[in-house]
Amino acid sequence: MIIYGFCNKEYTKKVFGLSLLTFGRILLVATTCSVKHFFETCRAKNFAIEKLIDIASHLMLPSVGSRKSLLRFASTAAKNTSILLRAQLDLNDVVLRSPEYKESITRRQLSKNLIEDVDFIVKNRPIQSQTYTKINALKRERTELAEKIQKKEPNLDEVKARLSEIKSEIKPLEKYVKELQEEIYSKAEALPNLLDPAVPASEIKEELVQYINTSAEEVGKYVGPDTSKDHKIIGERFGLFDFETASRISGPSWYYLLGDGALLEQALVQYALSKARRHGYKMVIPPSIVRSEVVHACGFKPNDQNNEKQIYQIEDEPRSLTGTAEIPLGALHSSTIFPSNTKFPIKYSGVSRSYRAEAGASGKDTKGLYRVHEFTKVELFHFTTLERARDELESVKNFQLEIIEELDLKARLLNMPTSDLGAPAMKKYDIEAWMPGRGSWGELTSCSNCGDYQSRRLGIRFNGKGDKVAHVATLNGTCMAVPRVIVAIIEQNYDQENDVIRIPKVLVPFMDGRNVISKIE
């Protein structure tokens, strides 16, 4: 069958449910590549397996046999195929700005091996380039000699002998440069992002930016822990939580939210989402299970620096549970080039269940809701240009400040030190609330500017000036980490005299119009 006979818009729409343009793109792939590449490319467009089989069968693609064989091939390919392009790293930038990369590694208190990796890249990039130059010179010579043979010029025996020598020279050089390239690439991929000049000078001490709903004078009077305001004791007495049953059913650091506890979670989520929508965020409910390569591309590692498990990975599957909606939101536009008329920033608010394997690690914060394995979280995610990324971080931070101010929680805004930054982050703000029951400050939100670290690994670009393609900047921030906000509300708003928990005014419409949570008699 002549495949070009399909190029009729009525036929392609009727048979495949595709526009002629889309089908034409698939057709181009099908006629110029292997069957495996055909399936990989089409899957990137999110076509169902059955539709791919229909197209492949109609196009009579070679070497795979019957429809049953095609289905088996496609099913196998679906399990083994990466959905992401290889990270588009700027190796020249590592060479040119190697002192800055070393500074970032040192100030983040990361392994000194990474500094050695930077030195390796700086030393071997020129060698890689020189080797490619030598290989290309040999290939040009080979072409010239082949032309002499074709023209039957004199001394053909010498020409043939030299061709044989070139072949033996090229093969080891190509093997060497390929291995060198892979080593350079793997070392570069492991490097952290550069640092924003505005991060604190101290590697371990955060910088206080401002207090929220409180003052330095009032903070000076904070003492603790005060067990009379412990959220776990109060919450269990009010029938809001059940940790004991959850521990028996699921294990330590899981919990049931009951009655008004469950209602309070939903109130916080609805308040956060409604506020985000008013600020121009598009709401998303993303998957909580993603491919592990996406987790890696976003800069999250299975284990932390102390080799403690951070991420739940599905056994015998290349998939992981997400610790934050940042991961699927970041991947929403993976392998995408935004057109030149795109209006940045693109802003999403995603609500999801989040899973953290490290909850209660080393016996830290194991009591109550503060550090748990599973929780509801509303996340903010921005795509923008590198030029606008710093201002965009301030925008995210200011939005978070509004939320904490409206919840009337006593808190503080911190510019976080380098040792507290994840590999993708150039700069990060945290907001911590005073939690009198714990007798300490506890993180409620964070927001980070990740520059082009994630976009290079997720393949997210845009057409800039003169249609020059550049990578976008990504930013993320917490809109509502529900359990910790519940901790802060209970511990700050418990009225011991009246034995009630006062509900923040902005949550009253979402709490059936009630101002307080009372103990169940």
Asked whether residue 444 is marked as a ligand-binding residue, the answer is yes
Whole-angstrom Cα distance, residue 434 to residue 121?
Answer: 46
Contact (Cβ atoms closer than 8 angstroms) between residue 247 and residue 313: no
Mapped onto helix, strand or coil, the DSSP state of residue 326 is: helix
Asked whether residue 324 is marked as a ligand-binding residue, the answer is yes
Contact (Cβ atoms closer than 8 angstroms) between residue 91 and residue 121: yes
Asked whether residue 507 is marked as a ligand-binding residue, the answer is no
Contact (Cβ atoms closer than 8 angstroms) between residue 31 and residue 66: no
Asked whether residue 153 is marked as a ligand-binding residue, the answer is no
Asked whether residue 406 is marked as a ligand-binding residue, the answer is no
Asked whether residue 379 is marked as a ligand-binding residue, the answer is yes
- Measured CA angle at 432 (ends 448, 453), to 5 deg: 10
453-485: b or e for each residue (b if 16 or more CB lie within 10 Å)?
bbbbbbbbbbebeeeeebbbbbbbbbbbbbbbb
Asked whether residue 446 is marked as a ligand-binding residue, the answer is yes
Asked whether residue 295 is marked as a ligand-binding residue, the answer is no
Asked whether residue 443 is marked as a ligand-binding residue, the answer is yes
Q: DSSP string of 101-120?
A: HHHHHHHTT--THHHHHHHH
Asked whether residue 245 is marked as a ligand-binding residue, the answer is no
Asked whether residue 372 is marked as a ligand-binding residue, the answer is yes
Asked whether residue 103 is marked as a ligand-binding residue, the answer is no
Asked whether residue 19 is marked as a ligand-binding residue, the answer is no
Asked whether residue 373 is marked as a ligand-binding residue, the answer is yes
Q: How many residues does the chain have?
A: 521
Whole-angstrom Cα distance, residue 338 to residue 462?
Answer: 4
- The residue among 189, 196, 155 whose CA lies nearest residue 428 is 196
* Cβ-based neighbour number of residue 394 at 10 Å: 12
Binding site members for L-serine: 324, 356, 379, 476
Binding site members for ATP: 356-358, 372-375, 443-446
Binding site members: 324, 356-358, 372-375, 379, 443-446, 476
